[in-house]
Amino acid sequence: MAVLNRKRTAFKLFSRMVLLLAITSGVGLLAHLIKLDRQQVLASSVFIMIVMATLLFWQFRLAIAFVGISVLMGTKTLDLPTFIKECKLDVILFLVGMMVTVGVLKELGLFTWIIQSVIKTRRMTGPMFVVIVAVLAALMSCIVDEVTSIVFIATLIFQVCDTVKVRPTPFIIIAVMATNIGSTGTMLGNPVGILIGQNAIPPLSFPDFLKWSFPIMLVTLSASIGVLLWWFWRDIRLLSERLETRREMGLGLGPLVQVPYKRGLGILVGMIAFIALHHHLESYLGLAPNTVLIMAPLVIAGLLMIWRHERARHYIEADVEWWTLLFFMMLFAVAGALQHTQVTEKIAGYFQTAFGNRLSILTPVIISISAFGSAFVDNVVFVAAFIPVVNKLGHTPLLWALLQGACLGGNATMIGSTANIVALGMLEKRYRTHVHFFEWFKAGVIVAVFSCLVAWGGIAALSPYMPTRAQRELEAVTNLQDSQKHLEINSHQTETSQSGGPGASVFMDIIFPEKM
Amino acid sequence: MSKGKTAIQFSSLFGPAEIICQTELTDRDSILLELLRLLAYERSIGNVHEVYKMILERESEAPTIVGSGIAMPHARLPTIDQIVVGVATSKKGIVYAKNVDNPIKLIILTVSPKASPAAYLQAMSSVAKICQDPATADVVAELPTAEKVWKFFDQGGIILPSYVRACDIMRPAKVKLQEHDTLEKAITLFVRHGLRDLPVVDKDDNLVGVVTTYELLRVCLPDYVLWMEDLTPILNFEPFAEILRKESKTWLAEIMTNEYATVDADSPAIQVAKEITRQRVDRAYVVRGEKLVGVVSLGTFLDRVLRG
C-alpha cells in the first residue's frame, strides 16, 4: 500500500513537472512566434514557470523561483543591479516591519483583548456573530494585513464553534472572504496594496487608499455579508440556536481575563497615525514620496525591539515570514525583468489594440483579468506583472481596478489568496478536515463575481472624481517643489538648490521612473 | 491471518508427561518449582532456579489469574526457541497469593522465547475461552490422570490463534464517564485515578468520545490567552476560576474530543500500537462495534508484549 502510494505520488509529481515544462516551453514558443526577442522570450518563460510553480508545486515555489532568477541572470536577461532594484526592498522592509510589530502586539495581548471583546458580547446571535466576524476580519485586514487578520479571526471562530459544537468551516469561509475584501481597504491590507501604491506612477499614498478604495471596500463588504448570510443561513441558524441554549444555561463562550491591552492599542493607533500622516510628514521633511510610509513600521518595529530586546531575535526569526518574503523578492525581480525587457510594454500595447483606451471597457477588463488570475495564482504574481501594464495605460481608476480584482478574485477558489491557504491550513491542522474544492468554489464564485461587480460600480461611480494621472503628476511635482523649498530653508544647502541637486533627481526618479 | 491450514492445537505444545495431575502440594512456590523441574527434565528449559526466580518475581508483581481457579504464570527465556507448556492440577486447591481468595486448581505454566512476544499471548488467548467458564478449573482438577487432562485440552478444540488480538491484551475500562455527566465528575475522576483521559459512553455503553486532561487545560487556556507573553493576567489561575465556577453546569460534550485511538476487539493487537503511534496518544480504546469493551494503555501494551 505504502509502495503504491509512493508510486502514485511520484507519478503525480512527474506529470506536474511535465505540465510545467510543457506550458513554459509553450509560452516561450508563443513569445518567439510573436517576434519577441531572446531576452523577452526568456523573461516571459521564467515568469510563467514561476506562476505555474505556485499552482502546481506550492511547496517548491521558492526553490523554483531561485532557479528561475538564476536562469535570467545566467542568460543576461537580468543583471545584478536590475535584480537588486527590482526586488523591491522597500515593500519587503515594510512587510518585515509590520510583521515584527504584529508579533509584539500579539504578545502584548491586543488581539486577546479583541477576541475577548467579541466573545463577551451580550445576546450574541448567529447573524450578529457573522457580521462581527466579517467586519472585524475586514478592518483588521485593513489595519494589519490579511494573513495576520485571518489567523486571529480563525482563532476566534474556533473558540466559539468548539464551545457551542458547530461546524467551523462556513464561518472560516465567511471570515476569509471578508478578510480578502477588507484587504482592499488600505495599503496595509495586502502585499499587493503596498506593491501598487509604491509602483504606481506617480506613487499612491495611504490617504489615496482611504479616499478611493476604503469606501468601495465598505460597500463591497456590506453587500458580500448579505450574500454570505444567505448562502450559509442554515449553519448560522444552528449557531443561533446553540448560542441561545448556552445563554440559557448561563455559560459563556470562553474564559475571560483582565488583559492590559492599552499599551498594545496605543502602539497600533500610533503606527496607523504615523502611516496615515506619511504624506504630510514627507512634504514637511522634504522626503521622497512614501518614505515615511515605509519607514513607519520599521521605526515602530525598531523601537519595540529595543524595548523588548530580550525577545527581539524571536520577533525577527519567528514572526517574520521569511519564506514568503523571499518568494516575493524573486517574484518582483522576475516581474521586473518583464518590464526591463519591455515585455510589459508590448502587453500594454496589445491591450490598447484589443480594448482601446476607453476606461469604461478597460476597468471591467482589468478587474476580470486580475480577478480570474488571482483566483488560481498568487495575486502578488499577477499584480507584479500587471502594474507596469496599468501604468502604461495611464488611467488612475485602473490602478484601483487592479487592486480590487486581485484581492476580490482571491475569494473564488480555496487557493486564491494567502489568507485562504493559511485559514484552511489551520482548519485542517485543528480538525483534520478538508474543505472540498467545490464547497468553497460554489460560495466563492458567487461572492467573487458579486463583489467584483460592486467594486466595478464603485470605481465607475468614483472615476469622475479621481485625479487623472496628469493631475497626480502635477500634485507630485508641486509637493516636490514645496519639499525642496522647505529643505533649502532648513538646511541652507545652497549648492544643492543651485544645481537642481541630487535630491531632486532622486525624487524625480521615484515619481516618474519611466521618464528618467 | 486465517486460522485454516496452519492452525496449531494448544495441546500440541505439551504432552501428558508435562502434566502434574492432582498434586498434593498446596503452596504456589512448591508446585511451580516442581513443574519447572519437570519441564527441565522433559524439555530442557535451562537453569530451573533462574526461571523459578523470574516467575516468582513476575507473580509477586501481579498474580496471573486468568479465570476462576486458573493461573497462567509464565517466563520469557533467551535460551529456548519455542514455547514450552506445563500443566498442574490440584483437587484441594493451591493458595496462590495473599489477595487471591479462590484457591487455584489449574496452573498452566508457559515458558516462551524472549524474542517472540506473541508466543505467550497466543497461548493465553487460546485458553481465554475455557477460562471464562467458571467450572473449568473444577472439571480439570477432577480428572484423575495426566492423559485425561491432556485429552481435555486436545478435544476442547483449543487452537492457537495465528495472531494476538486487541482484546487479548486489553484491560477492562473500569473508569468511564456517561454522556450526561458534567465536567465536575470528570475532574474528580482525573484527580482520583491519575488518568490522562477518560472514555465517555452512552446508555448502551457505546463509546461516544473521550475527555482528556489536555483538552481540559486547553479549555482553560485557549489560544487567545496563550498568545500573551505577560503572565500577570493569569498568574492566579484566573481562567481556571471560571471553569471551576461552572463545572457543575458544563456538560462533557463541551470538552469531549473525537480524536482518540480506537481498535476493534478482534483486530490484531499490533493495530493498537499503530493507532497509539499514529494518533500520538497513550491509550487506545477497544470496541466491538461501537461498544466499549476495554482499553490498552501504552504501559499495558509494553508490559504485555515486551515483558509479559
Which site among A257, A258, A265 would you substitute to test the B interface, given the most B Cβ atoms closer than 10 Å to its Cβ?
A257
Yes or no: say if A168 and A432 are a contact pair by the CB < 8 Å rule.
no
Per-residue confidence (pLDDT) for residue A424, from 0 to 100: 86
The CA distances from residue B39 to A218, B34, B230, B283, in Å, are 88, 9, 68, 37
CA B150 to chain centre: 26
Place of cell 527590482: A86
Contacts of A165 in chain B (CB under 8 A): 253-254
Lowest mean pLDDT among A140-144, B237-241, B289-293: B237-241
Interface of B with A in 88-117 (CB under 8 A): none
Contacts of A105 in chain B (CB under 8 A): none
Is the minimum CB–CB distance between B194 and chain A shorter than 8 Å? no
Contacts of B254 in chain A (CB under 8 A): 163, 165
Residue A498 predicted with pLDDT over 70: no
Nearest CA in chain A to B235: A257
Confidence band (pLDDT; 50, 70, 90) for B112?
A: confident
Write down the pTM of the prediction: 0.73
Per-residue confidence (pLDDT) for residue B267, from 0 to 100: 93
The CA distances from residue A286 to A289, A491, A511, A513, in Å, are 9, 11, 14, 19
Domain boundaries, chain A: 16-77, 89-319, 470-511
In terms of Cα–Cα distance, which of A356, A442, A435, A433 is closest to A395?
Answer: A356
Q: Which residues partner with A500 through β-bridges?
A: none
Report residue A194 as a C-alpha cell.
Answer: 503596498
Report residue A64 as a C-alpha cell.
Answer: 523554483
For chain A, the residues whose C-beta falls within 8 A of a C-beta of chain B are: 106-109, 111-112, 115-116, 152, 155-156, 158-159, 163, 165, 249-252, 254-260, 311, 432
Lowest mean pLDDT among A60-64, A101-105, A302-306, B287-291: A60-64
Nearest CA in chain B to A308: B229
Compute the distance between CA of residue A294 and CA of residue A195 in angstroms, rounded to an integer: 11
Q: DSSP letters along B60-85, please?
A: HHS--EEETTEE--EEEESS-SS-EE
Nearest CA in chain B to A112: B224
Beta-carbon contacts of A207 under 8 Å, excluding residues fewer than 6 positions away, are A276, A279
CB contact under 8 A, A108 and B234: no
pLDDT tens by residue, A108-142: 999 899 989 998 888 899 999 999 999 999 999 99
Per-residue confidence (pLDDT) for residue A229, from 0 to 100: 95
CB contact under 8 A, A257 and B238: yes
Interface A–B counts its CB contacts (< 8 A) at 65
Per-residue confidence (pLDDT) for residue A509, from 0 to 100: 53
Confidence band (pLDDT; 50, 70, 90) for B6?
A: low
Is the minimum CB–CB distance between B261 and chain A shorter than 8 Å? no
CB contact under 8 A, A255 and B225: yes
Q: Measure CB to CB from residue B239 to each of A255, A260, A311 and give the nearest one.
A: A255
Place of cell 506473541: B118
Contacts of B260 in chain A (CB under 8 A): none
Compute the distance between CA of residue A43 and CA of residue A336 in angstroms, rounded to an integer: 9
**A179 to chain B nearest CA, in Å?**
19
Residue A347 predicted with pLDDT over 50: yes
φ/ψ of residue B141, rounded to 5? -65, -25
Rounded mean pLDDT of B88-93?
91
Neighbours of A245 (CB within 10 A): 11
Contacts of A155 in chain B (CB under 8 A): 222-224
Q: Measure CB to CB from residue A251 to each of B230, B238, B249 and give the nearest one.
A: B249
Place of cell 516581474: A335
Compute the distance between CA of residue A482 and CA of residue B105 in angstroms, rounded to an integer: 108
The sheet with strand B207-212 has its strands ordered as B177-178, B197-201, B207-212
Q: How many CA atoms lie within 13 A of A327 on its CB side?
A: 21
Peptide bond just before A127 cis, omega within 30 deg: no
pLDDT tens by residue, A151-192: 889 989 998 998 888 999 999 999 999 999 999 999 888 888
Is the ipTM value over 0.95, yes or no? no
pLDDT tens by residue, A34-78: 888 888 898 889 888 887 887 788 778 888 889 989 988 998 888
Q: Tell me the average pLDDT of chain A.
A: 86
Which site among A102, A108, A259 would you substitute to test the B interface, given the most B Cβ atoms closer than 10 Å to its Cβ?
A259
Yes or no: say if B171 and B179 are a contact pair by the CB < 8 Å rule.
no
Confidence band (pLDDT; 50, 70, 90) for A516?
A: very low
Compute the distance between CA of residue A373 and CA of residue A367 in angstroms, rounded to an integer: 10
Neighbours of B222 (CB within 10 A): 22
Per-residue confidence (pLDDT) for residue A480, from 0 to 100: 66
**A189 to chain B nearest CA, in Å?**
22
Per-residue confidence (pLDDT) for residue B2, from 0 to 100: 41
Domains of chain B: 8-162 (3.40.930.10), 177-307 (3.10.580.10)
Compute the distance between CA of residue B168 and CA of residue B132 in angstroms, rounded to an integer: 13
pLDDT tens by residue, A454-471: 999 999 999 999 888 888
Per-residue confidence (pLDDT) for residue A39, from 0 to 100: 87
Stated as kind and residue range, the H or E segment containing A473 is helix A469-491
Per-residue confidence (pLDDT) for residue B33, from 0 to 100: 92
Report residue B93 as a C-alpha cell.
Answer: 486447591
Contacts of B238 in chain A (CB under 8 A): 255, 257-258
CB contact under 8 A, B249 and A158: no
Is the minimum CB–CB distance between B217 and chain A shorter than 8 Å? no
Report residue A235 as a C-alpha cell.
Answer: 449553519
Confidence band (pLDDT; 50, 70, 90) for A453?
A: very high
Rounded mean pLDDT of A424-431?
83
Rounded mean pLDDT of B129-143?
87
Lowest mean pLDDT among A108-117, A329-338, B24-33, B236-245: B236-245
Place of cell 478611493: A212
**A101 to chain B nearest CA, in Å?**
14
Per-residue confidence (pLDDT) for residue A500, from 0 to 100: 44
Q: What angle do CA B47, B50, B54 make, to 5 degrees?
A: 140
CB contact under 8 A, A251 and B253: no
Contacts of A251 in chain B (CB under 8 A): 246, 249-250
Q: Tell me the average pLDDT of chain B.
A: 86
CB contact under 8 A, B225 and A112: yes
Alpha helices in chain B (DSSP H): 28-43, 48-61, 117-132, 136-142, 146-155, 166-169, 183-193, 213-220, 223-226, 238-246, 270-279, 298-302
Q: Which residues partner with B197 through β-bridges?
A: B212
Burial letters B194-214, b for 16+ CB under 10 A, else e:
ebebbbbbeeeeebbbbbbbe
Is the minimum CB–CB distance between B227 and chain A shorter than 8 Å? yes
pLDDT tens by residue, A191-224: 889 889 988 988 898 899 999 999 999 999 999 9
CB contact under 8 A, A165 and B254: yes
Compute the distance between CA of residue A152 and CA of residue A323 in angstroms, rounded to an integer: 21
Nearest CA in chain B to A431: B259
Per-residue confidence (pLDDT) for residue B58, from 0 to 100: 84
Yes or no: say if B260 and B279 are a contact pair by the CB < 8 Å rule.
yes
Residue A410 predicted with pLDDT over 50: yes
Compute the distance between CA of residue A186 and CA of residue A102 in angstroms, rounded to an integer: 17
Higher-pLDDT residue of B28 and A476 is B28
